[in-house]
Amino acid sequence: MNAKYFDLENKRVLVTGGGSGIGASIVEHFCEQGSEVYFVDINVEDSNNLVTEIKNKNYKTPTFIKCDLLNIKKFQNVLENIISEKGPINILVNNAANDERHTIDEVTVDLWNERININLRHFFFAVQSVKSAMIKEKKGVIVNMGSLSWMVGMGGMPAYTAAKAGVEALTRSFAKDLGEHNIRVNTVVPGWTMTKRQVEKWLTPEAEKKLMEDQCLKHKLMPSDIAKAVLFFSSDQSSGCTNQCYIVDKGKL
Tell me the backbone φ, ψ of residue 101, rounded to 5 degrees: -70, 150
191 dihedral zone (left: phi>0; alpha: psi -120 to 50; beta): beta
Active site residue 246: no
Looking at 5, 59, 160, 246, which residue is catalytic? Answer: 160
What ranges in 87-157 are assigned the alpha helix state H? 109-116, 122-137
DSSP 62: P
**3-class secondary-structure state, position 221:** strand
Sheet holding 91-94, edge to edge: 63-66, 36-41, 12-16, 91-94, 140-145, 183-190, 244-248
Dihedral angle, C-alpha 2, 29, 51, 63, nearest 10 °: 140
69: exposed, middle or buried (C-beta count within 10 Å: 0-12, 13-18, 19+)? buried
Count of other CB atoms within 10 angstroms of residue 116:
15
Q: How many CB atoms lie within 10 A of CB 201?
A: 12
- Catalytic annotation, residues: 160
